[in-house]
Amino acid sequence: MAPQISVEDLSKHYQVHEKDPGLAGSLRAFFARKYKTVKAVDRVTFNIDSGERVGFLGPNGAGKTTTLKVLSGLLYPTSGATRVMGFTPHKREAAYLRRFTLVMGQKQQLLWDLPAIETFLINQAIYEISKADFEATLKELDQLLELGPLLRKQVRKLSLGERMKCELAAALLHRPQVLFLDEPTIGLDVTMQVRIRDFVAEYNARYGATVILTSHYMADVTALCSRLIVIDKGRLLYDGDFKALIERMAPYKIIKLQLPHPLPEGRLAAFGEVQSSEGLNAVLRIPRARATETAARILSEIEVDDVTFEDPPVEDIIRDVFAGGLIPTEKTP
């Protein structure tokens, strides 16, 4: 079966004009504009199957939003082919527009001066949702998101988190099969981030909807997505399993020790690289392949109060990916 979303060799280039600062620069720009081509997306290829949850990770300006906009039919690709559910997004057929949704954390569809329910009713008419379906879906979304009294309050009087809950509901009333979520948790506090994240997971589980999520909060992506697509400067840096990325980029584990009494650093160095050692706390970096064996040795050879094993912080890993762009394809142990 063909993948639900296929992107092949997609590029999107923008022409932006440059202007020197000051009045003279403005005048020059008025008569002869200088143009520069920005490669927002540069020959990106990936396929996504129905029901997958994929995280799009990259710094600001990496090309995440541009890719989602191309997939939503808001942007014409410069070159390359995109297909979603058998449709070509930029043809913007009504049948396609009815079957997906794009939620942008920084843009809203809710009417600012009216209660959210008014936008919901417009969407009911536009997406031709029957009264019964509308009520059933609204009830489910209400349960999952606890919309309750929010629906009848003016949108401009809602908090950012409340508004995002209503935005999500408005975007899902027509039960889209594909969800493009562009920074849905931006600006939200941690509790609300978790709520939104849980909701997306639940929606995906219930309806088998495909989810592409962009975020620069690592936690969103690690909690929700098993598959990760990393892009930077328009280029695809990594596409695959989240665990595999960690193993590739960080072929070591972190062992944190709490000691009953101080040990000389040399004693700890016998187990592996000492990252830090302060009084009763020590942190060691151990090659992944030898982690289990080393842990056993530590426990049998020295006295410890507490031991924890951790993967290096994901932020560090991703920073390494962006910094070097080096992803070893074959890791030699």
The site for another protein (CB under 8 A) is made up of 14, 40, 65-66, 69, 72-76, 92, 94-95, 97-98, 101-102, 104, 106-109, 111, 113-114, 118-119, 121-128
The CB-of-197 to another protein minimum distance in angstroms stands at 22
Residue with smaller CB distance to another protein, 107 or 261: 107
Three-state secondary-structure class, residue 114: coil
Q: Which two tokens stand for residue 259?
A: 């000691």
CB nearer to another protein: pick between 171 and 268: 171
Nearest residue (CB) to another protein, 76 versus 309? 76
Burial of 198 (0-12, 13-18, 19+ CB in 10 A): middle
Q: Which is nearer to another protein, 63 or 272 (CB)?
A: 63
Q: Which is nearer to another protein, 64 or 253 (CB)?
A: 64
Tallying the residues shown for the chain, one arrives at 333
- Smaller CB separation from another protein, 36 or 107: 107
Q: Please say which residue, 209 or 314, places its beta carbon nearer to another protein.
A: 209
Q: What is the distance between the alpha carbons of residues 57 and 52, in angstroms, rounded to a whole number? A: 16
How near is the Cβ of 179 to another protein at its closest, in Å? 12
- Closest distance between another protein and the C-beta of residue 66, in Å? 6
User: Could you tell me the smallest distance in angstroms from the CB atom of residue 155 to another protein?
Assistant: 11
Minimum distance from residue 99 beta carbon to another protein (Å)? 9
Of 300, 310, 67, 27, which is closest to residue 182 (Cα–Cα)? 67
Least Å from the CB of residue 14 to another protein: 6
Region at 301 (left for phi over 0; alpha for psi -120 to 50; beta for the rest): alpha
For residue 324, the tally of other CB atoms under 10 A from its CB is 11
DSSP-H helix ranges across 150-217: 160-172, 190-207
Answer positive or negative: Cα dihedral of 266, 267, 272, 277. Answer: negative
What residue type is assigned to position 293 of the chain?
E
Q: How far is the CB of 329 from another protein (least distance, A)?
A: 31
The residue among 92 and 319 lying less far from another protein, judged by its C-beta, is 92
What Å distances lie between residue 244 and 23, 55, 56, 309, CA to CA?
Answer: 54, 14, 16, 18
Please report how close the Cβ of residue 166 comes to another protein at its closest, in angstroms. 13
Gap between the Cα atoms of 333 and 331, Å rounded = 6
- Minimum distance between the CB of residue 328 and another protein, rounded to whole angstroms? 33
3-state secondary structure of 283: strand
| b (16+ CB within 10 A) / e for 129-147 | beeeebeebbebbeebbeb
Nearer to another protein, 153 or 297 (CB): 153
Q: For tokens 């379906």, what's the residue?
A: 133
Three-state DSSP state, 103: strand
- Asked if 15 and 36 touch (Cβ cutoff 8 Å), the reply is yes
